[in-house]
Homo-oligomer: A and B are copies of this chain.
Amino acid sequence: MNIYAYSRAEATPLTLLERIQSLDATRHVSSYVAFVISGHCVGQIHRRLIPLLLSINGDGRIPLFSRIQGRCGAEAITLDDDLSTNEERTRAMNIVTDDLIRNGIIKCRHGDRYGLYNEGSNVRELLCMVDRNAASCFGATSVGVHLLCYRKCCVRTDRQDSIQDCDAGSVSLWMAQRSESKSSFPLKWDPTVAGGQPTDLSFVENLVKEANEEAGIDDSLARRATAVSCLSQMTSKPNGTCMKQSLYHCWDLEVDENFLPYARDGEVTKFELWDSDKLEDEVRQGNNLRPAMRLVVVDFLIRHGIIKPDDEQNYATIQAAMHRERLILWSE
């Protein structure tokens, strides 16, 4: 089974819902088992990685991972329960990272470290840190910020009961074409600004920084953006890596006809203003967007009334599909 949704041969045109769902690895639930640390489900592991993980030993040649039974008797993999602190578990995951590299599952360390948390409980606790590249084998959460700079034609009216008379079809969004040198999805298109979330900045600080670096947007203008939504998606590659829950935090920023983003840091080749027809056409049948960005654009089109409940029969299901929680295969 090819679990790499992006390369799926599309024999018949997919509906918008199917296109959204095709990006979501949670539909391949049977290929994964839960990854449990200290009784908490923190992610998931592709079945083809299980033999390797079970063969990895820690100090005193004690196996670092073992099989346990989760809900409905489902298989789960747990990190050794004797590792009781963040530091001990982080050291263990470092050993695992070495083994993943030695076996060619991941090429090298990334350097950035992801935290694994007991997300389900009331008090969020850091259970361990793991290299970003290794984290992609364990279904860790990856967080990104997105700034959507859009234009809207507004006409002042004389009516007392209305502030503005806007044609819902008139909204346009500044899109960014990814640089040819990008390792993933070169020359595909993203919404105006996109960036990963580091641990040492607030969301807004990161947004302002990325807006400046990627699109030359003034700090003061970027700070006027409105936080509007957070979308969720599970992604995966066929070899069991790049398995992660992605959270896309989105901000809207209305700009006028004088606004012009420009590529500053080499991540973007150029910017273009796409009208709502082009945006909707792209998410429904195009292949020019970075696939995961279909979510961000569909959310934008829904929030601005371009995709409407009367015209889109899967309106409610599409929104549910874009806000799914992490796949829980095992729970307390």
This protein's copies in its complex: 2
Residues of B within 8 A of A15 (CB): 122
Q: Which of A278-332 contact B (CB under 8 A)?
A: 302-305, 308-310, 313, 315-317, 319-325
Please measure, in the bound complex, the distance between the C-alpha atom of A232 and the C-alpha atom of B310, giving whole angstroms: 17
Q: How far is the CB of A30 from chain B (nearest CB, A)?
A: 11
Q: How far is the CB of A260 from chain B (nearest CB, A)?
A: 9
CB < 8 Å neighbour of A322 from B71, B72, B119, B323: B323
- Tell me which of A188-196, A247-255, A267-275 binds B: A247-255
Q: How far is the CB of A148 from chain B (nearest CB, A)?
A: 13
Closest to A145 in B: B309
15 A-B interface contacts by CB (under 8 A): A72-B74, A154-B163, A161-B218, A161-B256, A161-B259, A162-B254, A203-B308, A204-B308, A227-B302, A230-B315, A230-B316, A230-B319, A232-B319, A249-B316, A323-B323
**Beyond A228-B304, A229-B302, 20 additional pairs, beta carbon < 8 A:** A15-B122, A71-B72, A72-B74, A154-B163, A161-B256, A161-B258, A161-B259, A162-B255, A163-B255, A165-B224, A166-B226, A203-B308, A203-B309, A226-B304, A227-B302, A227-B308, A229-B319, A247-B316, A249-B316, A251-B305
Is the CB–CB distance between B224 and A162 below 8 Å?
yes
CB < 8 Å neighbour of A221 from B162, B224, B230, B316: B162
Assess whether A168 is interfacial by the CB under 8 Å rule. Answer: yes
The 7 closest A-B pairs by CB, nearest first: A72-B72, A226-B305, A323-B323, A320-B325, A160-B258, A230-B316, A163-B256
Residues of B within 8 A of A152 (CB): 163
Assess whether A7 is interfacial by the CB under 8 Å rule. Answer: no
Please measure, in the bound complex, the distance between the C-alpha atom of A304 and the C-alpha atom of B226, giving whole angstroms: 7
Q: How far is the CB of A323 from chain B (nearest CB, A)?
A: 4
Q: How far is the CB of A114 from chain B (nearest CB, A)?
A: 16
Closest to A18 in B: B122
Type the 1/0 row for A120-163, where 1 means its CB is closer than 8 Å to any CB of B: 00101000000000000000000000000000101000011111
A119, A315, A322 interface centre (most CB from chain B within 10 Å)? A315
A72, A161, A255, A325 interface centre (most CB from chain B within 10 Å)? A161
Q: How far is the CB of A132 from chain B (nearest CB, A)?
A: 19
Residues of B within 8 A of A183 (CB): none
Residues of B within 8 A of A256 (CB): 160-163
